[in-house]
Amino acid sequence: MKTEVLNVEGMSCSHCVHAITSSITALKGAKDVNVDLSAKTVRIEYDAEELSLDSIKLAIGEAGYEVV
């Protein structure tokens, strides 16, 4: 299991938290997603054998947010 913290721009409310959380948890291998709105970070716990960090970043981008 791997934990990664990403800086994500564009998150401002609980809708954003939900959008990001559901787009990442839909990925196979994602275990836990934690969004911190004030810190603008997303902490993801995932199985690195099933899921790559690039796929996670792509999912966040497709949800409409920018990983910086």
Q: Which is nearer to Cu ion, 51 or 60 (CB)?
A: 60
Rounded to a whole number of angstroms, the minimum distance from the CB of residue 17 to Cu ion is 7
Integer-rounded Cα Rg, in Å, for the chain is: 11
Quickly count: other Cβ atoms within 10 Å of residue 24's Cβ. 23
* Nearer Cβ to Cu ion (39/48): 39
Q: How far is the CB of 40 from Cu ion (least distance, A)?
A: 12
Secondary element (H or E) of residue 30: strand 30-36
The contact set with Cu ion (CB under 5 A) reads 12-13, 15-16
